[in-house]
Amino acid sequence: MCMPKSKGGIGFKDLKAFNLALLAKQGWRLNQHPDSLTHRVFKAKYFLECTFMEAQVGKKPSYVWRSLMVAKETIEARSRWLIGNGRKVNIWRDKWLPSPNSFKVISPQRHNTDVEKVAQLIDSEASMWKAKFIREVFLPHEVEIILSIPLSTQMPKDSNVWVW
């Protein structure tokens, strides 16, 4: 049986989206494996004083680095934080709530609190949420979401995970 030839070469309908997905995969690997040679080389050249996710394009970037910076947007859009000790996660900017709407806090940041990191919401000695404080700072539906996040007694590092 003779199969009709597909238009577009090897059958990819959207080559730009396919390329972006492959670049995002490489960016994800860079982000998840800071001990890799590739990560160390890029860090030394492009993001010495920050993380890959905080990095900027910079001056005179290589084609590969510019491409990874475009893919970084895809990673940001499709990843979120799993809470361990809460030290890496910014309460107001980062996606960390297990709620598929936005994964972000929508409660207004009160001017009388200087809480920035999720770690400030955790009693690390007891490995429990500071429930009373959380009830004072967040909207009721977010309080329930936050208090439902399980905490480990080992308080591991926070980890960035793929949402879907």
Structural domain range at position 87:
80-162
Percentage of the chain lying above the pLDDT 90 cut? 72
**Helices in 47-112 by DSSP H: which ranges?**
63-77
On whether residue 70 sits in a domain, the answer given is yes
pLDDT of 97 strictly over 60 = yes
Residue 81 CB contacts under 8 Å (≥ 6 apart), including other chains: 88, 89, 94, 95, 96, 158, 159, 160, 161
Do 104 and 156 sit in the same domain of this protein? yes
Average pLDDT of the residues in 130-144: 95
* pLDDT value, residue 9: 56
15-32 helix and 37-46 helix, angle to the nearest 10 degrees: 90
Do 53 and 85 sit in the same domain of this protein? no
Q: pLDDT per residue over 110-120, tens digit each?
A: 776 789 999 99
Do 99 and 152 sit in the same domain of this protein? yes
On whether residue 5 sits in a domain, the answer given is no
* pLDDT value, residue 110: 79
Contact 111, 60 (CB under 8 A): no
Domain closes at, from 48, 77, 106: 77
Q: Say which DSSP state 37 is in.
A: H
Do 49 and 86 sit in the same domain of this protein? no
Do 112 and 71 sit in the same domain of this protein? no
* pLDDT value, residue 157: 94
Q: What gap in Å lies between CA 159 and CA 31, rounded to an integer? A: 10
Average pLDDT of the residues in 70-82: 92
